Amino acid sequence: MRLLRMFLMRARALWRADVVDRGLAEEMRAHLEQLTQEHVARGMTPQAAREAARLAFGPVTQLVEESRDARGIMWIANGWQDMRYGVRLMPELYAHLNPMPFEAATEMEKDLAGDLRNEGYTVAGGT
């Protein structure tokens, strides 16, 4: 039962990361507010209490990242993102969309660079 619950929590963290992150942010805000109230109760001004609470709580962004890593599923999300990016880089998937072969495009670029130089423009790179 415990393994099933852990699996379901990790699956939720993977597919509903936005909801989990919002919950985490809300929990951190509540902790900061509680620390602030404790400092105010000790006699600090509200502004000084907020600053002291932030210092005592630590770097929120780093804590959020560490929490994501502790879920144990970020490698799945990162792997999926890397795979999607890799597919987008595969030129053979887009060959049917390219109306001109590479050699023809290179020649056209060289001709354009030559014409621009003849008109007095500076063209960097190429021949």
Per-residue pLDDT of the chain (127 residues), as tens digits, is 787 776 676 666 666 777 777 777 788 889 889 999 999 999 999 999 999 988 888 887 787 777 777 766 677 777 878 888 888 787 777 777 778 888 898 999 999 999 999 999 998 876 5
Tell whether 83 is covered by a domain.
yes
Tell whether 127 is covered by a domain.
no
Alpha carbons 8 and 24: distance in angstroms, whole number: 17
Predicted structure pTM score? 0.45
Number of domains in the chain: 1
CB atoms within 10 A of CB 77: 15
Q: Which domain holds residue 25?
A: 2-118
Instruction: Look at residue 15 in the predicted model and tell me its pLDDT.
Output: 66
Tell whether 103 is covered by a domain.
yes
Q: What residue ranges in 1-127 does DSSP mark as E strands?
A: none
